[in-house]
Structure 1
Amino acid sequence: MDKISFIAILGGLTAILAGQALEGGNIASLIQVTAFLIVIGGTASAVMLQSTPRQFVTGLQMAKWVFVPPNFEYDKQIRDIVGWSNTARRNGLLALEANLNSQKEPFTRKALQLLVDGAEPQLIREVLEVELETHEQARRLAARTWESAGGYSPTMGILGAVLGLIHVMENLSDPAKLGGGIAVAFVATVYGVGAANLLFLPMANKLKHLITLESTARELVIEGVVAIANGENPRQIDARLRGYLAIAD
């Protein structure tokens, strides 16, 4: 669990609410269902319109990475690859077939299967790099749903403000209705700008970083498997792959 994400969101909300209270404002005045519907509903609709169904659904599913990021286990991957290298040197590539069922990650299992099948090193690299690139591109397109939401929500906040002011202008003769319209106008802007800068854009940037880590973990597998196919020394493979640990820090 990524505790810093929870702390960051709670800290941002606390800062806004504390600032409102310190200025003598009523915190309850920031709760406006109408403004929320305009901003969040409009933003969601705009994002859905620009995305394919798969991209939109995948983007929603990836939101949990912000709070519970996947563990890519670079150290374990390196140990496994060096172990495969030792096994291959002693007993041949076919001996690695016993390790296939223990690989839960499809990409790693495919890489090991290519190695067991005796594919040429260059073919292994080409096949795996194509899958890596297409997978990364799909992930980034899904993460863009949150980046797009960060671009649309401030505009939706302005739209909510305009609608609120229209409501005010329509009821100038009834002072009792003016307060509600003005509240919706300004709170909608707060929701739009706040959601973009406290949630949507930071979430998009964090997802892009995690996608980079995922792709790097797969690059590590490619380099290790190709090195085994080339018959390189296990110690040399270990030394080379250790360089990938820097990005995991």
Structure 2
Amino acid sequence: MDLATIIGIIVGMAIVFIVQILEGGHASSILLWPSMLLVFGGGFCAAMAGGVMKDAKGVGASLQKALTAKVTPPTELLDSVVKLAERARREGLLALEDAVKTVEHPFLKRGLQLAIDGTDPDELHDILHAEVAAKKKADKASMKMFETMGGYCPTIGIIGTVMGLVHVLENLSNPDTLGHSIAAAFVATLWGVLSANLMWLPMAARLTRLSAIEAEEMELVIDGVLAIQAGSNPRLVAQKLRSLLPPDEMKKAEAASSTKKAA
């Protein structure tokens, strides 16, 4: 599990509360449930109103993915594809029938099964790329929900502040409580800006990044499956797939390959 998002949000929120205390305030003074309910609940409802019910229902799964998604090193996937290419080259494509059952990567598993079933290379290419395009659209929809919440929450926080100031003006006859009431009114704006910039927008960026990583993996799988289907030399398959990796990952893959050869 990649903890970047969890650590970033927790540490960011902790810094806010620490600064509040260092400035002579109390952490409890910004933990006002009415303001938080308005910002979080209102922000979610506004985002839901701008989309479809399917997007709103998928927020839980998207939130879980943003917080707990595991980023697998692409070198592991590359090694799996190369091993399959070596076996296909040695024993034939149909020999992978049993190997497919042990493949954990779902997209690689589907691609191999289509290749084994004798799907035309051009059709296989189109089918797999269509799946990549469909996934990008789905990921964009889930990311958009958080991005929209990040846009609405600051404005809803201002609405909460205006509501609080209206309440203050209704109670001008109690000067002893004016300071506390005015401070409480601005807490809604604080939570609106805070939630947008420390939670919703970072999560949208995280989902965008995860989508890009997964799409790159799928592109690597497509090239690997097509090479296996064509009976390409495993060394050429490995070299071609390594060229698709980011520079740092490519160096790691080349180092790992050199280590295996030396062993």
SS in 1 for 2:243: helix
CA contact (8 A) 2:143 2:204 kept: yes
CA contact (8 A) 1:72 1:217 kept: no
Aligned residue in 2 for 1:100: 100
Aligned residue in 2 for 1:84: 84
Residues 97-125 of structure 1: CA distance to partner in whole angstroms, max 9, x if unpaired? Answer: 11222234332221011110122221111
Aligned residue in 2 for 1:5: 5
Q: What is the number of equivalent residue pairs in this alignment? A: 249
Aligned residue in 1 for 2:204: 204
The separation in 2 between residues aligned to 1:211 and 1:189, in whole angstroms, is 32
Counterpart amino acid of 1:211?
S
CA contact (8 A) 1:39 1:192 kept: yes
Distance 1:103 1:53, change over 3 A: farther
CA contact (8 A) 2:97 2:116 kept: yes
SS in 2 for 1:244: coil
Distance 1:218 1:10, change over 3 A: same
Are residues 1:38 and 2:38 paired? yes
Aligned residue in 1 for 2:253: none
Are residues 1:64 and 2:64 paired? yes
CA contact (8 A) 1:93 1:118 kept: no
Aligned residue in 2 for 1:126: 126
Distance 1:109 1:3, change over 3 A: closer
Residues 71-96 of structure 1: CA distance to partner in whole angstroms, max 9, x if unpaired? Answer: 33422221221122222222221111
Q: How far is the alpha carbon of 1:180 from its aligned partner?
A: 5.0
CA contact (8 A) 2:89 2:232 kept: no
The separation in 1 between residues aligned to 2:65 and 2:112, in whole angstroms, is 27
CA contact (8 A) 1:120 1:229 kept: no
- Give the TM-score taking structure 1 as reference length: 0.92
Q: How far is the alpha carbon of 1:25 from its aligned partner?
A: 1.9
SS in 1 for 2:71: coil
Aligned residue in 2 for 1:193: 193
Aligned residue in 2 for 1:244: 244
The separation in 2 between residues aligned to 1:85 and 1:13, in whole angstroms, is 48
Greater shift in the superposed pair: 160-169 or 45-54: 45-54
Mark the runs of 5 or more structure 2 residues left unpaired by the alignment.
250-263
SS in 1 for 2:24: coil
Counterpart amino acid of 1:183?
A
Distance 1:4 1:88, change over 3 A: closer
CA contact (8 A) 1:224 1:237 kept: yes
RMSD between aligned alpha carbons?
1.9
Aligned residue in 1 for 2:184: 184
CA contact (8 A) 1:2 1:66 kept: no
Residues 118-174 of structure 1: CA distance to partner in whole angstroms, max 9, x if unpaired? Answer: 222211110000011001210121111111111011011001001111111122223
Aligned residue in 1 for 2:160: 160
CA contact (8 A) 2:157 2:192 kept: yes
How many percent of aligned residue pairs carry the same amino acid?
37
Instruction: Map 1:211-222 to 2 at 5 A.
Output: 211-222=211-222
Distance 1:230 1:52, change over 3 A: same
The separation in 2 between residues aligned to 1:199 and 1:154, in whole angstroms, is 12
Counterpart amino acid of 1:5?
T
Q: How far is the alpha carbon of 1:181 from its aligned partner?
A: 3.5
Residues 49-89 of structure 1: CA distance to partner in whole angstroms, max 9, x if unpaired? Answer: 12323222333212223332223342222122112222222
Aligned residue in 2 for 1:54: 54
Q: Write out the 4+ residue segments of structure 1 that deviate beyond 4 Å after TM superposition.
A: none
Greater shift in the superposed pair: 46-55 or 31-40: 46-55
Q: How far is the alpha carbon of 1:248 from its aligned partner?
A: 7.8
Aligned residue in 1 for 2:142: 142
